[in-house]
Amino acid sequence: MKPVPQNTPFLKNLLVAFLLWAGLTTSPTLAQTTKFTISGTLRDAKTGESLIGATAFAKNATANSGAAANAYGFYSITLPAGQYNLTAQFIGYTPKTITIDIQKNQTLDLELSPQSVDLSEVVVSATKQEENIVTRNQMGMEKLNVEAIKNVPVLFGERDVLKVLQLLPGVKSAGEGNSGFFVRGGAADQNLILLDEATVYNASHLLGFFSVFNSDAIKDATLYKGGMPAEYGGRLSSVLDIKLNNYGLEVHRFKSE
């Protein structure tokens, strides 16, 4: 009995049929498992302010996923390829829904418009206005009242958040007229100063009379004199975490003739 030759048309046809069958069965599976990322920022349509905590939710008949915006209004959602209804929403704003076709990684920024809501009767009780410049939420942490800083009298230079800090217990000025400060006996270079998570190595200029921080642009300022959270690293004396307002261009637009 003679063996069947390896190059017969029958074997070639069988091999082609097998390859076609394998391609037809694996292609849909690969298409279904391919995932892409859609990301962007959620902002106020009028001011351009980042909407911290706003949610973006993508949904279709087979899959759905969502994410909350971080401190900069950024969101990111990873989904299988396909068509989705993407909804962005936030308390006090009109929800916005658009249809998207995800076939690749995309960047999509969304703006939400403020929404007026009719409420039922509300009883308002008044108390004495808090006059303290500093609020203590926990041991070793001082949270500055940014609005109260604007009312601090100034003899030379300008209103400076660092000079206000020098009035706190445990904080001492690094020198006459200088914006540097010592915390609980530590050196000035043992303080970590952050501006929107970026390290500031020199926080004053012109012999300390002028600060690098514009008090009108400061949104929040927190001083940790002890027990600093691990996210700030290992500075010995203190951590000063300053956040700036991120208003849109519409707020700071001027015209001159």
Question: How confident is the model over 68-108, as pLDDT tens digits?
Answer: 999 889 999 998 988 999 999 998 899 999 999 988 999 99
Looking at per-residue pLDDT, the higher value among 179 and 215 belongs to 215
CATH of segment(s) 134-251 = 2.170.130.10
Q: Specify the amino acid at residue 230.
A: A
Instruction: Give the torsion through C-alpha atoms of 160, 163, 169, 173, to 10 deg.
Output: 160
Phi, psi of 199 (to 5 degrees): -70, 130
Residue 5 has pLDDT above 80, yes or no: no
Q: Which CATH superfamily does the domain covering 33-112 fall into?
A: Immunoglobulins (2.60.40.10)
pLDDT tens per residue across span 200-245: 887 777 666 677 887 778 888 888 887 788 888 777 888 989 888 8
How do the domains of the chain map onto residue ranges?
A: 33-112, 134-251
Q: pLDDT grade, residue 145 (50/70/90)?
A: confident
> How far, in Å, CA of 244 to CA of 49, rounded?
11
